[in-house]
Amino acid sequence: MRHIINLHVSLVKEEFPMDGANLQHLLAMALYMLAVIVIGIVFARRANKDAEAYFLGGRSLGPWVTAFSAEASDMSGYLLMGLPGLAYWTGLADAGWTCIGLALGTYLNFLITSRRLRRYSIAVDAFTVPDFFSKRYHEGKHKTLMVLSSLIIIIFFSVYAAQCLSTCGKLFANLFGLSYQSMMIVAAAFVLLYTFLGGFLAESASDFMQAVVMVTVLVLILILSVVSAGGLNTVIENAKSIDGFFSMVRTATPSTTEVNVFGASQPYGALSIASCLAWGLGYFGMPQVLLRFMGIRSEHELGRSRRVAIIWVVISMAAAVFIGVVGRSVAGLDYLSNNDAENIFIDAATSYLPPILAGFACAGVLAAAISSSDSYLLISASAVSQNLYRGVFKKNATEKQVMWCSRITLVLITIVAMAIAWNSNSTIFGITSFAWAGFGAAFGPLMLLCLFWKRTTYQGAVAGMIAGGVMVFFWKLVLKPLGGLFGIYELLPAFVFSVIVIVVVSLFTAEPDTQIEAEFDKVRSGKGLQ
């Protein structure tokens, strides 16, 4: 037995040499993980009081926590790894227009949706997105809207959670030379632990901290990268020397066999720009963001949240993109695929920072993944336990039974996410884009129309939700491979199609009853709901 143990230890040492730098990396990341767990423990008692406290925090979020947690839960691993990798690979155009679309979407979602949604969620006593849709239209016993929206959440959040776990796996595999799959499992176990403990409040509080960590390390790495590259002028001149790399209307074409070798650039036309800007439409259907609007303690604080959120988004995304641009000016970066290029942030952190600070910087990547995966898991759990289990199958379920159902669901969704993310060759940005389109098209049009168009009917809501979700799959899998006009990002045509279906079906079905219309008018006036 002793020989077996010694052999195992020697193999671990061979795979993971514990030099001083690695020890400092681990120490910094361990301290960060400990802080997150402490947050979960602190909020555990309040979170487990009842389902509303666990899933929505008792509508007690302040403006800063609302803003930071909304963006941190949204800006997952694609912020620190996906965007820099995309910018490094093809230049400014693709990453830049995507960021512009996301920034516009963030601002407009806060401006248009947040206030009305908070009022409406109070008026109908809803604290999950499926619950809101169901109560908005006074669903009967069949709960079609609730079931549909819950299934959509489970499907697309499994994909989203997979992206987050993939980020963690790539981080540890790149940083320590460990197995991608084993590190992904460790990350999943950690996320489950503190989500179990604290629910929505712990998630939101830790997201606040993680948002601070993310933007800090992004700005720090950007500054140090520019200095290492020889200054801003050197970076710009190098980027301009690559055909199409520093342009917003052309895209570079890197070689997949030789580092820093490019062919002739390709036009980045109106269709591509429209695809990138369409990312902003996704915000109107993102449950992890919409829940923050529902959970803020006062609608009067939403204006401050909006300003904080947009500043954070602009700074963090700009820094992420330019880290990729600077990367092309730094010697020794040898990436021959878009997938490999997503490691550029990690390599920059370990190259330019002392080991202990590099560990904290990499904790920023961990923060991005964790802050999103906990949101996705918690919302998925609420969809199953609160909306399906108690809402449809066992309406007399106790609070304890709902809580146990949610925790079982957390485990199952995590297992599914790990299965999706098991292949280490998939790109973080690619996984994100599909899930983003799914939520944006299935929930976004309905959310806007049910908040602002009184004539929207129950039949229109059901038809529109189905139409948006199905069109994402159809466009992505059937039409997009045809190329040309069909090459546009699937979110845009699916969003438009869903709007058309909702409007047409609503106009051809009976008007909502007087009670629903009276409720709509009450929300519009805002009396007693602020």
Structure tokens at 482: 């045809």
Q: What percentage of residues in the chain have a pLDDT greater than 70?
A: 83
Instruction: Return phi, psi of residue 33, to 5°.
Output: -60, -40
Taking alpha carbons only, the member of 114, 469, 32 closest to residue 283 is 114
Q: Which residue range(s) make up the domain with 513?
A: 19-524
The two three-digit tokens of residue 195, written as one number: 């989500």
Least confident of 32-36, 281-285, 303-307, 513-517: 32-36
How confident is the model over 252-288, as pLDDT tens digits? 999 888 877 888 999 998 999 999 999 999 999 988 8
Residues contacting residue 241 through CB under 8 Å, at least 6 positions apart: none
238 belongs to a structural domain: yes
Q: How confident is the model at residue 510 (pLDDT cuts 50, 70, 90)?
A: very high
3 found inside a domain:
no
- Does residue 8 form part of some domain? no
Of 6-15, 68-77, 79-88, 318-327, highest mean pLDDT: 318-327
The domain that contains 331 carries what CATH number? 1.20.1730.10
Q: Would you say 207 and 194 are in contact if contact means Cβ atoms under 8 Å apart? A: no
Q: How far from 344 is each of 250, 330, 349, 491, 517, CA to CA, in Å?
A: 22, 11, 9, 28, 53
For 380-398, give one letter per residue: b (16+ CB within 10 A) or e: bbbbbbbbbbbbbeeeebe
Check if the beta carbon of residue 487 is closer than 8 Å to that of residue 271. Answer: yes
Q: pLDDT (tens digit, 9 = 90+) per residue, 452-463?
A: 999 999 999 999
Confidence class for position 310, pLDDT limits 50, 70, 90: very high
pLDDT for the residue numbered 423: 72
What is the pLDDT at residue 376?
72
Inside any domain, residue 28: yes
Give residue 341's pLDDT: 82
Answer yes or no: is pLDDT of 86 > 50: yes
Q: Within a domain: residue 501?
A: yes
Q: Which residues contact 54 (CB under 8 A, 6 or more apart)?
A: 47, 48, 199, 200, 403, 406
**Residue 157 pLDDT level (bands cut at 50, 70, 90):** confident
- In this prediction, residue 51 carries a pLDDT of 53
Number of neighbouring beta carbons within 10 Å of residue 416? 17
Q: What is the pLDDT of residue 315?
A: 93
Concatenated DSSP letters of 123-184: HTT--SHHHHHHHHTT--TT-HHHHHHHHHHHHHHHHHHHHHHHHHHHHHHHHH---HHHHH
> What pLDDT sits at residue 19?
60
Read off the tokens for 518. 């009276």
Copy the structure tokens of residue 312: 């954070």
Give the pLDDT confidence of 207-257 residue by residue, as tens digits.
777 778 788 888 888 998 898 888 899 889 988 999 999 999 999 999 888
The tokens of 437 are what? 């389109």
Query: What digits encode the pLDDT tens for the residues 402-433?
Result: 778 888 888 888 888 888 878 766 666 677 78
DSSP class of residue 238 equals: H
Residue 529 lies in a domain: no
CB 161 within 8 A of CB 417: yes
Predicted pLDDT of residue 229: 85
Of 149-153, 163-167, 325-329, 448-452, where does mean pLDDT reach its minimum?
163-167
Residues 6 or more apart whose CB falls under 8 angstroms from that of 440 comprise: 281, 282, 283, 284, 285, 286, 491, 494, 495
Higher pLDDT, 463 or 43: 463
How does the average pLDDT of the chain come out, rounded? 81
Residue 221 within a domain: yes
Q: Would you say 493 and 176 are in contact if contact means Cβ atoms under 8 Å apart?
A: no
CB half-sphere exposure, 452, CA atoms < 13 A: 13
Q: How many domains does the chain have?
A: 1
Q: Is residue 2 part of a domain?
A: no
Percent of the chain at pLDDT > 90 equals: 30
- Which of 39-53, 199-213, 415-429 is predicted least confidently? 39-53
What pLDDT band is residue 186 in, cutting at 50, 70 and 90? Answer: confident
Asked whether the beta carbons of 429 and 77 are under 8 A apart, the reply is: no
Q: In this structure, are residues 27 and 176 in contact, taking their beta carbons and an 8 Å threshold?
A: no
Q: Rounded distance, CA 390 to CA 384, Å?
A: 8
pLDDT at 14: 42
Does position 105 have pLDDT exceeding 60, yes or no?
yes
Q: For the purposes of burial, counting CB atoms within 10 Å of the CB of 336, is it exposed (0-12), middle (13-18) or buried (19 or more)?
A: middle
